Structure 1
Amino acid sequence: MSLPTWLRQPWLHFVVIGLVLFFLQSWAFPEPKPVVGPLSEARIDNLHQQWLAVAGQPPSEEQLQSMITQELDRDMLFQRALSLELHLYDQVVYQRLLRNLDFLGMGQDLSDQERYQQALDMRLHLGDEVIKRRMIQVMEQLLLAARPPAEVIEADIAAEFAARQDELRRPPRYSIEQLYFSREREDEVVDVVERIQRENLSAAEARQLSSPFLPGYVFRAQTPDQLARNFGAAFVMNFQEAAPQPGQWVGPLRSTYGLHYVWVESIEPARDATLDEVRPQLERDLYSRRRAEALAAAIDDLREQFEVRRS
């Protein structure tokens, strides 16, 4: 059985051979991937110093490697944003480049569009950290638009509430009035306490016998954390260890500032939170977690398109 005439045409043979060679070449010699990294020693040292400034101690090797990975991811996202020319359509970048030219004192006799083009020609956008952060943010938004986080539904909220009940428990709240005695007046405290008890003085009546206290004297419905912000952690520990009861004086109690004699007006005991109270928090936490997971997965996929060099 002979082939049809059109299949025996030389030009067709050349086309087929050309296509085969093209696909073989693409398979055997693919286009090189864009390269990200490695970080310079100066940038790695900067990451090290940033951690030291925040944590007060050098990062472990694992922590340092995690920071390096995050920095390489930032470089990758920035490079991808530039390849998509996202910087050419962003008003934040536009205004930032004009401000940079103003700072450099250049292009004063040009229009804004001409100055913007001048800044691009000078490649100012490549070395500006504000522009880099903006481009990374835009790129992350694009990745999430293509791969949105899973929707938070009522069953998710209920499960999160059940799993975190201990964490979400509402702390006790104390309504107190206090008399403050600076360190210079601590010797007077015993006499003042005796006078309050003898004359049955209220906290308001006894206030004139104490020292000035900048945060104030009356504190309503305060959690232990809120009290600590005004008096320090030592005061809260001493206060709670004294087993305060409503309608009683407690102390004197020591804080980082001096001594305090405290009238306990009322106490709201600790209790379990209700779902309605913490629903907004749970929704935010769940969405934030799922957003981070979706973004991490999208960045993992994007890494396949780059050659990431760590060293």
Structure 2
Amino acid sequence: MNLKKVPLLRDPLLHFALIGGLLFAIDGLFGGDADAEEIAITPSRIEHLAAVFERSWQRPPSDEEMQKLVDNFVREEVLYREALKLGLEADDTVIRRRLRLKMEFLARDLVDAVEPETEVLQKFYRDNGDRYQLPARVSFRQIYFNDDRRAEPEQDAEMALAALADGAEWATTGDSHLLPRQFTQASLEEVNKQLGTGFAEELLDQPRGQWVGPVHSEYGVHLVFVEEYTAQASADFASVQSQVLRDWQAQAHGDALESQYRQLRQGYRVRMDVDPGVRQLASAEPADEVAAR
């Protein structure tokens, strides 16, 4: 008899019914309880479901929508519990990682609940002073000479330098370009992004308050007038206190996670069954066993 010709056996509904029956039978084999388990729908659960809905839809749920939320929660809880009974979470990389993250979040929540004293943050600020440095800044003007358009850009720049000393207008000297003509309290990093690596450092060796040059960049030749240079300095604690708090919390998070792991790790002994040829690759701790196959 050709089973493929029997219409009933090709009915998808029958397939789903068979699958459902199989899952029910497996659940019975693995310890299904004759007494129904309780799923409690508490007021706090209702509030949580409604709050999640409102964050998504920017309005509270209607009575009908609230009922659907509860029904969906019950469905999810039933399937979740049954999946645990069947051991479906075992050896699932995604679930393992999510559970690890939840354990780590617990440690982070403990840190976030702590409000460190100002003295604690000040000590962290002093111990990590290199993190809270105000960058060096420079204010200057520049005149550009395009070495692709000029046969002797350096010579032209020197002639312009002499003209500036005689009172020539700097804003109309040089070639037109998209580069800024004037920088005000710009960090060295900002200057190098605009005019090329190393240009800002060239400015530091130039005298203040006069036109000098030529100075070379990745784009060509420049005359520069350095107005002001502010060296790198430590930021005042009050101005960076919020950043210090974030940095302190980040370090405390890491310390808490490591402490949590070390404490929990003491409750486990790891046995590594490895081949003798790769035994040295095993990262077992001294108290762990490394057994050769």
TM-score by length of 2: 0.52
Q: In structure 2, how many angstroms separate the alpha carbons of the residues matched to 1:303 and 1:124?
A: 20
> Counterparts of 1:146-161 in structure 2 under 5 Å?
151-161=115-125
Deviates most, 219-228 or 196-205: 196-205
Change (3 A) 1:127 1:211: farther
Equivalent residue number for residue 92 of structure 2: 126
Q: In structure 1, how many angstroms separate the alpha carbons of the residues matched to 2:231 and 2:169?
A: 24
Q: In structure 2, how many angstroms separate the alpha carbons of the residues matched to 1:216 and 1:141?
A: 47
Is 1:285 the counterpart of 2:252? The answer is no
Equivalent residue number for residue 221 of structure 2: 259
Change (3 A) 1:133 1:256: farther
Q: In structure 2, how many angstroms separate the alpha carbons of the residues matched to 1:143 and 1:271?
A: 36
Output the amino acid matched with 2:248.
Answer: L
Q: In structure 2, how many angstroms separate the alpha carbons of the residues matched to 1:190 and 1:177?
A: 20
Output the amino acid matched with 2:237.
Answer: L
Q: Secondary structure at the match of 2:264?
A: helix
Change (3 A) 1:205 1:132: farther
Equivalent residue number for residue 44 of structure 1: none
Q: In structure 2, how many angstroms separate the alpha carbons of the residues matched to 1:277 and 1:146?
A: 27
Identity %: 25
Q: In structure 2, how many angstroms separate the alpha carbons of the residues matched to 1:175 and 1:300?
A: 52
Equivalent residue number for residue 172 of structure 2: 205
> Counterparts of 1:242-257 in structure 2 under 5 Å?
242=206, 244-245=207-208, 247-257=209-219
Query: Where does structure 1 lack aligned partners over 5 or more consecutive residues?
Result: 1-90, 92-110
Output the amino acid matched with 2:140.
Answer: I
The two structures, once aligned, show a CA RMSD in angstroms of 4.0
Equivalent residue number for residue 135 of structure 2: 171
Q: Give the alignment partner of residue 126 of structure 2, picking from 128, 153, 162.
A: 162
Output the amino acid matched with 1:204.
Answer: A
Q: Secondary structure at the match of 2:139?
A: strand
Whether contact under 8 Å (1:144, 1:294) holds in the other structure is: yes
1:181 to partner: Cα distance: 3.4
Q: In structure 1, how many angstroms separate the alpha carbons of the residues matched to 2:203 and 2:124?
A: 33
Change (3 A) 1:195 1:158: same
Q: Which has the higher contact order (CA 8 A, sep 6+)?
A: 1
Whether contact under 8 Å (1:203, 1:263) holds in the other structure is: no
Whether contact under 8 Å (1:177, 1:203) holds in the other structure is: no
1:162 to partner: Cα distance: 3.4
